[in-house]
């Protein structure tokens, strides 16, 4: 099977013969798809796809996702090596270059949101997001981290560098806290919006446990914390936001754009998390459902109280945070760890 390690393919790349490399990718992917199925084909051809997405001119690199080559030849949203091939492409070229080349569909949308995460304004060819997620970062999204750390840094020969997901990252600013006892009658809010918010948070970090409580953030933390006495404290949402976005990109098949879109869905549901009547749901998802608009999400973020705590044996990836909305009296919690 074709891999980036083949000397012939290396020579083609060094000579800039990208059309031949694309043809080799399509031929190999179609053959593998017919023989072993889509999942195996995506895995076997991913190293060559990474090379093309990383180093080929954008006019050719975008054709990785075109279906004009026939059945089984095109990369999809889930094709990945060190990370999704569409994310590799998005880190290499501006939206100004890519917008006229990418056709409509999931890849175009994810590339656009990746460019937004990298700090680019998207006025050229940037159609509104179908779920209403803004096509540029809100100030609270940009405040907590540097542009260089928002998306994986991909390497030309394969592989990537990315920041570890750690929340809390250290004991700085934290202290001994006694969490409240979890009473058998503790209020567990319900309703369609509450369910959607929990579902959204669960999809954001599928390796973490989630729960919600009618009460304050420490009460929510007590639902999942291992001990009553913890080292914890409050952080501004701007410092929590990067970890929540990264939580979706712990696996190689997911990118930071997945995290941003998923978090906006969850925040939109949380902004109306009183369990009241919902408006009609759109086919595209919950952002904008029930009158929840960008301004309501911004208002939620402004009043949000975020409590984080340490666990005694956290994995290299770990996330322990409770998000409290004082206006609705509901607090949400995510807690989990994962080894690399």
Tell me, yes or no, whether 79 lies in a domain. yes
CA atoms of 81 and 97, how far apart (whole Å):
23
**Count: domains in the chain:** 2
**Average pLDDT of the chain to the nearest whole number:** 88
pLDDT per position as a tens digit, 236-270: 999 999 999 999 888 899 999 999 999 999 999 99
Q: Give DSSP secondary structure letters for 115-180.
A: HHHTT----SS-PPPTT---SS--HHHHTTS-GGGSS-EE-TTS-EE----EES-SSTT-EEEEPP
CA atoms of 21 and 30, how far apart (whole Å):
14
Q: Same domain for 189 and 271?
A: yes
**Among 161, 192, 219, which residue terminates a domain?**
161
pLDDT on residue 91: 97
Residue 62 domain boundaries:
7-161
pLDDT per position as a tens digit, 215-235: 999 999 999 999 999 999 999
CA atoms of 144 and 241, how far apart (whole Å):
7
Tell me, yes or no, whether 175 lies in a domain. yes
- The verdict on pTM exceeding 0.85 is yes
**Among 161, 190, 224, which residue terminates a domain?**
161
Contacts of 127 (CB under 8 A, 6+ apart): none
């Amino acid at each position: 099977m074709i891999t980036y390690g083949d000397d012939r393919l290396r020579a083609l790349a060094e000579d800039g013969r990208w059309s031949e490399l694309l043809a080799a990718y399509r031929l190999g992917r179609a053959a593998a798809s017919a023989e072993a199925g889509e999942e195996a084909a995506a895995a076997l051809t991913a190293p060559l796809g990474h090379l093309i997405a990383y180093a080929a001119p954008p006019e050719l690199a975008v054709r990785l996702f075109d279906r004009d080559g026939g059945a089984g030849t095109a990369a999809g949203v889930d094709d990945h090596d060190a990370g999704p091939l569409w994310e590799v492409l998005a880190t290499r070229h501006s939206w100004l270059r890519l917008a006229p080349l990418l056709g409509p569909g999931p890849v175009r949308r994810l590339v656009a949101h990746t460019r937004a995460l990298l700090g680019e304004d998207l006025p050229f060819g940037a159609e509104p997001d179908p779920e209403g997620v803004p096509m540029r970062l809100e100030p609270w999204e940009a405040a907590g981290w540097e542009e260089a750390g928002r998306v994986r840094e991909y390497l030309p020969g394969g592989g990537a560098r990315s920041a570890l997901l750690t929340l809390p990252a250290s004991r700085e600013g934290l202290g001994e806290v006694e969490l409240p006892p979890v009473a058998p009658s503790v209020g567990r809010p319900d309703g369609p919006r509450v369910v959607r918010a929990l579902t959204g948070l669960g999809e954001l970090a599928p390796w973490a446990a989630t729960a919600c409580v009618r009460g304050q953030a420490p009460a929510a933390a007590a639902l999942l914390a291992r001990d009553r006495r913890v080292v914890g404290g409050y952080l501004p949402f701007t410092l929590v936001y990067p970890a929540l976005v990264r939580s979706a990109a712990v696996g190689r098949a997911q990118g930071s754009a997945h995290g941003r879109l998923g978090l906006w869905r969850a925040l939109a549901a949380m902004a109306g998390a009183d369990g009241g009547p919902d408006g009609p749901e759109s086919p595209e998802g919950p952002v904008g459902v029930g009158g929840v608009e960008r301004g309501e999400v911004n208002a939620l973020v402004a009043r949000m109280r975020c409590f984080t705590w340490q666990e005694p044996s956290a994995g290299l990836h770990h996330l322990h945070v409770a998000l409290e909305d004082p206006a609705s009296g509901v607090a949400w919690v995510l807690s989990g760890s994962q080894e690399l």
